[in-house]
Structure 1
């Protein structure tokens, strides 16, 4: 497989921070996303390369192996095992040489052993198997979609994959689809598909985990005298009883009216409502007179 400089693919330096890598990937993934570049083969090719590069460099362990072994990073463990075996063989040979005066192996022979390890393993029926690349992708959905369990079809390397997105998935959450990454080597298992969710929220509700927060306007008269108020929740309307003399900034909790809990059917967080008392404007002369009279009573 040809060597690919993943740092160049993501347009970052080799000492880039995890934050820089994540930022670069998101910027370029949006630029070359197939949905924004229909029928553009070059953009599709670049998008796949970005996913591959991000899968390696966004994972601390993978990045460490890549920095040490380059294109052979996926075989890092096998190389390290071979190095240990080589060291043990050298040590054993030195002991044997000191005790028996037998044949001594040269450095070239040990280097040949290291470089041809996989070929020998194959000829001896012990072919080493390696897991394929993990693919990464970012899936953008609306918060209303995240509220209910639904299905979505993704296209990965020309193959359609139908997945179920559970209600309650969070922004930035990663879901692993096993076996839908790169092909394994020497009969090894396929890699996995790692999907990072980016959830857009254009509603009046702020989400924090399973809880929702919103602000509701309350007119001055209802705040002072009490009454009823119909408010929106995420999935419908409810009627609230307002206590007399409700203060600006007062909060109420509606239990179970928040966001669904991930993979916990029928369980929801809470909805927290903050009242914002609105002062009346454009008062009539009669209203001004009444407020003036009221102020004298206080």
Structure 2
């Protein structure tokens, strides 16, 4: 397989920062995502390369190995270990009186899992490469558990997305990475969730927060109002004399608790009293009368 320059794939310089790499990946991934390029084999190939490049360059340890060892970065640890063993072996040969001109076949065979010509060694197993993916969802989508199909490196994967997933949360799916070598296990798939909120509610874990406008008459006299919750409307009784900024808690009307069935956080409502700005002459007259009564 031809060597792929991951920096060129993402269109960044070798000295690019982590933020530059993440930004470049997101931009390119949106452009070549299979959902936006159906039946486009070239876009599918490009999207696969982007995922591979991001997997390597977004991980500081993997990036260091890649910069040092190029296409053989996954065997970096084995390479270094084999190199040290070869040095020790060469040193032992010299101490025992053997001349130079040693054969490096043992070194490369041990590095890539082959069998030594002199020892009949055993094939070395390497775990497959892990894959990283980002999944963008709307807050409303993670209010309930649902299934979704993702395309990872050209393969369609049907996943169950649990209700209550957090923004920035990473979940690991074992065995959905690249194939191992030498009979080693498959790598894993790591999915990072980006949850976009286009609602009037602010989320903090399983609790929700929102503000509700309250007219001055309801605040003074009390009454009943209808407010929105995340899954519908409810009626609330407003006590007479409610002050601006008053908070009320609706127990169990928040967001689902992650992986805890039928458990929900709470909804916190803050009342914002709205003062009338355009009063009729009659209203001004009545408010004047009220102000006189309050001073008696």
TM over 0.5: yes
Q: How many Å apart are 1:284 and its aligned residue?
A: 2.3
What residue is the counterpart of 2:174 in the other structure? 178
Structure 1 unaligned spans of 5+: none
Residue 74 of structure 2 is aligned to residue 79 of structure 1? no
Using the alignment, how far apart are the partners of 1:45 and 1:293 within structure 2?
77
Alpha-carbon shift at residue 118 of structure 1 (Å): 4.1
Which residue of structure 1 lines up, in the alignment, with residue 5 of structure 2?
Answer: 5
Q: Which residue of 1 aligns with 2:64?
A: 64
Give the structure 2 partner of residue 223 of structure 1.
219
Report which stretch shifted further, 26-35 or 156-165: 156-165
Q: Does residue 124 of structure 2 align to residue 128 of structure 1?
A: yes
Cα pair 1:122 1:128 within 8 Å, conserved? no
- Give CA-to-partner distance per residue, 1:97-143, whole Å, 9 cap, x none: 3xxxx21344x53x444334346743525111112222222222221
**Cα distance in 2, alignment partners of residues 81 and 118 from structure 1:** 8
Give the deviation of 1:158 after TM superposition.
3.9
Query: Residues 21-40 of structure 1 correspond to what in structure 2 (within 5 A)?
Result: 21-40=21-40
> Does the Cα contact within 8 Å between 1:230 and 1:237 map onto a contact in 2?
yes
Could you tell me which residue of structure 2 aligns to residue 140 of structure 1?
A: 136
**Alignment correspondent of 1:265:** 261
- Maintained 8 Å contact 1:228/1:239: yes
Of residues 230, 233, 251, the one that matches 1:234 is 230
Task: Give the structure 2 partner of residue 115 of structure 1.
Answer: 108
Aligned to 2:188: 192
Residues 271 and 180 (structure 1), Cα distance of their counterparts in 2 relative to 1, 3 Å cut? same
Calculate the TM-score normalised by the size of structure 1: 0.89
Pick the aligned partner of 1:103 from 93, 98, 101. 98
User: Does the CA contact (< 8 Å) of 2:224 and 2:237 recur in 1?
Assistant: yes
Tell me the SS of whatever aligns to 1:253.
Answer: strand
Secondary structure at the aligned position of 2:190 is classed as strand
In the superposition, relative to structure 1, how do residues 214 and 243 fare at CA in structure 2: closer, same or farther (>3 Å)?
same
Give unpaired runs (5+ residues) of structure 2: none
Please say if 1:52 is aligned against 2:52. Answer: yes
TM-score normalised to the size of structure 2?
0.90
Check conservation: 1:118, 1:127, Cα contact below 8 A.
Answer: no
How many Å apart are 1:232 and its aligned residue? 1.2
Q: Secondary structure at the match of 2:115?
A: helix
Report 1:245-256 matches (<5 A).
245-256=241-252
> Once structures 1 and 2 are overlaid, which stretch shifts more, 43-52 or 236-245?
236-245
Report the equivalent of 1:292: 288
Residues 119 and 244 (structure 1 numbering): CA distance in 2 closer, same or farther, change over 3 Å? closer
